Chains A and B, each alone.
Chain A
Amino acid sequence: MPAERVITAAEAVRETLAQALRDRPEVFLLGEGVADPTGIFGTTKGLVDEFGPDRVVEMPVAENGLTGIAIGSALMGRRPVMTHQRVDFALLSLEQLFNAAAKSSYVTNGRHRVPLTVRMVIGRGWGQGPQHSQSLEALFAHIPGLKVVMPSTPYEFKGLLHAAIDDDNPVIFIEHRWLHYVSGPVPPERYAIALSGPRLVEQGSKATVVANSYMVLEAIRASAALAGVGCPIDVIDLRVLRPFDPTLILESVRRTGKLVVCDTGWRLFGIGSEIIATVAERAFDALKKPVARIGLPDHPTPSSLALAETYYPGSGDIIDAVGKLCDLPAAAVSAARAEVVAARRGIPIDKPDPAFKGPF
């Protein structure tokens, strides 16, 4: 058996874009920096050399206008892939995304389609502060007509991005910057992962932990530590926020009776809130304990490391929440917590954990 090829998520994105550009003449890339020497954290690096400036289009700094232009081209059968280096920049384009892109199929009774993919990079760390490190997936997931995807592993990045580009609807593809560094096995050939729901990452029985994007890695680390103290859990990677398919989550909660949700964004009005509401509506009788909701505290992201130290929840918070729901002895919780703290080896919270480089 040849060893599986292991690459980073950033490399997986670049490979996906190159394959899409090669396979489909109607695909083109658009973004601020998409053709520059660094190429959006390496995800588009060098593609302009292979495909030329008409397919890898460097754009003026005009997010709303260029989003509308991408939508107009998509209505005419092109397949644009737009990239924002920060989700915060994409806020300027919400009018076009929410009004034009999201409603085109609906308002035309299905006659128009908008095969548009918008990559939006979220992230954290190194003092990026309140307007360079937000996690705004809940905004997009609120809008009927958009699809919203948050990949976790490199394998998922590639398969979900192919599916997004192949999809005839506007897809908001939200990439956590710290996941770009993560490596994992990725088949070189083209493959797509249907934009149709969550995946079960770990199977346990004591509790259900639903996470998305970077928080999936924190949940996996928590899961390993919890298994070590006799408390195996289900970890579910939400991955496709919209269309929202809670089937797997409901099945899991019916088995475990306990639910923890972990957002990369704010706790209040977040994705986790929607999951909890759905479970309360459809599996209330299965719940044995109140649910737990993990996410960012109710204030913007501070720049200073001193202020950000307690801002981001991690695997320790997941262990605490599961421990409480499962009535784990304090010693077990402490042991599991000690394991994840040790695994982090004192890395400050504003830097990615090298141990998270994978392979996953």
Chain B
Amino acid sequence: MVTGLKASPGIALDPSLATNLFREMLRIRMIEEEIAKRYRDEKMRCPVHLSIGQEAVPVGISAVLRRSDQVVSTHRCHAHYLAKGGDLRAMLCELMGRAEGCCGGRGGSMHLFDPSVGMLLSLPIVAASIPIGVGAALALKQAKRDDVAVVYLGDASVEEGVFHESANFSAVHRLPVVFVCENNLYSVYTSLEERQPPRPIADLARGHGLHAVAVDGNDVVAVQRAASDAVRRARSGSGPAFIEAATYRWREHCGPNFDNTLGYRSEAEFEDWKRRDPLEFLARHLTEHGALNETQRADLAAEITAEIAAAFTYAEAAPYPAPDTAEHHLYAG
């Protein structure tokens, strides 16, 4: 059930903050839509796991993070990377296998990272990046830094043993880590009910002694509020926290298309979630408060369109890595 911002008590409705959140979500949406549109050109020759419909979670989380805070992500990492400040050109170059890709063309879309903004890494094995993020938190604690680590995971990740191993260790050592579970209800085509019993995912985290909350993952302000609390706790040494954010992936698990015709989920369910579009949800609120009108929105979109077009043009003209460099960097040093 979607509730309005008015039902989120304690939120300072700072129009400039809310407009920034809107802009960030709109930018991610437009980048992902452009990737979907251009995918059939076959210049992006790697799998893509689009974040369309799920933009509020990373934008709400990143709103409370510092550049030096560390983020780890999964195969569906585009939005996490962009929200943390990852470079768009380096991302598109990576999707197109160019030398200037963030991984130099060695990783593809599922390995996005940008250490200059604390986007530590993304890994495409379900749950594999969870302990990496906890290890980053351990390093932050050992180095006596007051930064935090954020671990993005999906609903299927809590089915993996390594989630529990990581949550347990983070609680034993009171590590500065925030687990953010994007519950989009499906692991590829398999629904949550087929995979887990009817109990809140956040209860698993509570069982490990983590501070855990569940939020509407399509309400960016609610996400931001939960993140603010969790990050404050982690940063102040009060230990790890867990946020379950309910959200929905609009398009297929992997690729640019809609796939409701396959029958694994209903058109009605999809339409219901589309009505809860995180962008339009915030836009309505901003409009009601006079913080966003049609002209402003069109200006934002035009500005973002220009940025995206320039980035695609850049990436498409960027050189490929030389074939004889394929064996480089097997070892560091």
Contact = CB atoms under 8 A, between A and B. Distances in A.
Interface in B156-195: 161-162, 164-166, 168-169, 172
Nearest to A111: B115
Contacts of A355: none
Interface string B216-260: 000000000000000000000000000000000000000000000
Which of A67, A72, A144 has the largest count of B CB atoms less than 10 A from its CB?
A: A72
A169 interface: yes
Contact of A69 (B120, B138, B164): B138
Contacts, number: 145
A109 B131 contact: no
A169 B333 contact: yes
A106 B330 contact: yes
Contacts of A108: 103, 106-107, 111, 113, 121, 329
A68 B130 contact: yes
Contacts of A147: 331
B142 A78 contact: yes
A111 B140 CA distance: 19
B131 A71 contact: yes
A299 B22 CA distance: 63
Interface residues of A, number: 43
A66 interface: yes
B169 A77 contact: no
Interface in A94-149: 95-96, 99-100, 104-114, 144-145, 147
A36 interface: no
A28 B149 CA distance: 20
B125 A110 contact: no
A60 B169 contact: yes
The 5 tightest CB contacts between A and B, nearest first, are: A72-B135, A65-B165, A68-B131, A109-B104, A76-B139
Given A60-B165, A167-B333, 15 more contacts: A26-B142, A54-B142, A60-B172, A68-B166, A69-B132, A69-B138, A72-B132, A75-B132, A100-B128, A107-B111, A108-B121, A112-B115, A147-B331, A169-B331, A169-B333
Interface of B: 70, 72, 103-104, 106-107, 111, 113, 115, 120-121, 123, 125, 128, 130-140, 142-143, 149, 161-162, 164-166, 168-169, 172, 328-333
